[in-house]
């Protein structure tokens, strides 16, 4: 059965609205209200936490942080991976061969281990720097896809025709091959949003990402671990947000795959 992309689009729209509009509704995620661990009510839609902070405010501001980190990381990975992949797939130069070997070496390293080592060495980082590190470690998978597509497109009729007409190799590579090789990269980048969100949450949970008191979904899960019985909503709220975010990215990625690569279905 074919899955509709509308579910993913609706989830993505809801999360973007939460990230954009939510902080206007609840502007201060650090404000301490009257009463700790208050259950959800009309005064506090998602209750309060152990520090009397409004959970909805922290969720909304955390959405802005988590989605920004994921978006920036994916864009960086897409730009670097596409550039490296198309050059590596072009062949015929020392640079292409070197980039192939670098990509293979980078793919052999466990990404989560590399991230943990880097973040442990660098210490607490602002969200944008954190996003850049996640993005820089995410390009090899995209580079591999683009390289494979570049190798295939080098034998395409329109590319052979461009060479026969005297188009210089750089023009053939960047004007003829790259646009066609981007389809799998865009699909992988969309699916990679889910990975980036989970990486941000997981690293924050381990104390290596966005640090308290700044709001993030991973940090909210970390802070809720001692209150599972007294205030289960502290865990359920950020977990539900993570599930919604990763599900929407996956559904949109699959929809893009069906649209851009219908022959693979």
Answer whether 35's CB lies under 8 Å from 166's CB.
Answer: no
The pair of three-digit structure tokens given for residue 119, joined into one six-digit string: 């973040």
The confidence band for 258, taking pLDDT boundaries of 50, 70 and 90, is: confident
Report pLDDT for 90: 85
The answer on pLDDT for 167 being more than 80 is yes
Report pLDDT for 263: 63
Higher pLDDT among residues 156 and 6, named by residue:
156
The answer on pLDDT for 3 being more than 70 is no
Mean pLDDT rounded to a whole number for the chain: 89
The pair of three-digit structure tokens given for residue 223, joined into one six-digit string: 């802070």
Per cent of the chain over pLDDT 70 is 97
Out of 77-86, 141-150, 156-165, which region has the weakest mean confidence (pLDDT)?
Answer: 156-165
The pair of three-digit structure tokens given for residue 203, joined into one six-digit string: 């690293």
- Tell whether pTM > 0.75: yes
What CA–CA distance (Å, rounded) separates 149 from 105? 20
pLDDT digits (tens, 9 = 90+) for 30-76: 888 778 998 998 888 899 999 999 999 999 999 999 999 999 999 99
The answer on pLDDT for 201 being more than 50 is yes
Out of 61-70, 169-178, 229-238, which region has the weakest mean confidence (pLDDT)?
Answer: 169-178
Report pLDDT for 210: 84
Answer whether 214's CB lies under 8 Å from 199's CB.
Answer: no
- What number is the average pLDDT over the span 228-233? 91
The confidence band for 1, taking pLDDT boundaries of 50, 70 and 90, is: very low
Q: Which CATH architecture has domain 54-264?
A: Orthogonal Bundle (1.10)
Answer whether 59's CB lies under 8 Å from 241's CB.
Answer: yes
Hey, CA dihedral for 120, 109, 74, 81, is it positive or negative?
A: positive
The answer on pLDDT for 4 being more than 50 is yes
DSSP structure class, residue 3: P
């Amino acid at each position: 059965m074919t899955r509709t992309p509308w579910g993913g689009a609706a989830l993505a729209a809801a999360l973007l609205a939460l990230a954009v509009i939510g902080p206007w509704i609840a502007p201060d995620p650090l404000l301490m209200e009257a009463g700790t661990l208050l259950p959800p009510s009309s005064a506090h839609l998602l209750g309060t936490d152990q520090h009397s902070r409004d959970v909805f405010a922290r969720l909304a501001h955390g959405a802005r942080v988590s989605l920004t980190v994921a978006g920036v990381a994916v864009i960086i990975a897409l730009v670097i991976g596409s550039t490296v992949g198309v050059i590596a797939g072009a062949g015929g130069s020392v640079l292409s061969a070197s980039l192939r070997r670098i990509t293979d070496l980078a793919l052999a390293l466990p990404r989560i281990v590399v991230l943990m080592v880097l973040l442990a060495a660098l210490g607490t980082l602002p969200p944008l720097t954190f996003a850049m590190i996640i993005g820089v470690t995410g390009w090899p998978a995209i580079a591999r896809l683009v390289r494979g597509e570049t190798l295939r497109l080098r034998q395409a009729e329109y590319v052979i025709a461009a060479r026969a007409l005297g188009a210089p190799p750089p023009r053939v590579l960047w004007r003829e091959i790259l646009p066609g090789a981007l389809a799998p990269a865009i699909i992988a980048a969309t699916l990679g949003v889910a990975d980036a969100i989970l990486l941000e949450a997981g690293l924050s949970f381990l104390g290596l990402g966005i640090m308290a008191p700044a709001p993030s979904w991973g940090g909210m899960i970390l802070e809720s671990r001692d209150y599972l019985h007294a205030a289960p909503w502290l865990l359920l709220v950020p977990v539900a947000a993570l599930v919604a975010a990763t599900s929407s990215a996956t559904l949109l990625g699959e929809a893009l795959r069906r649209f851009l690569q219908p022959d693979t279905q």
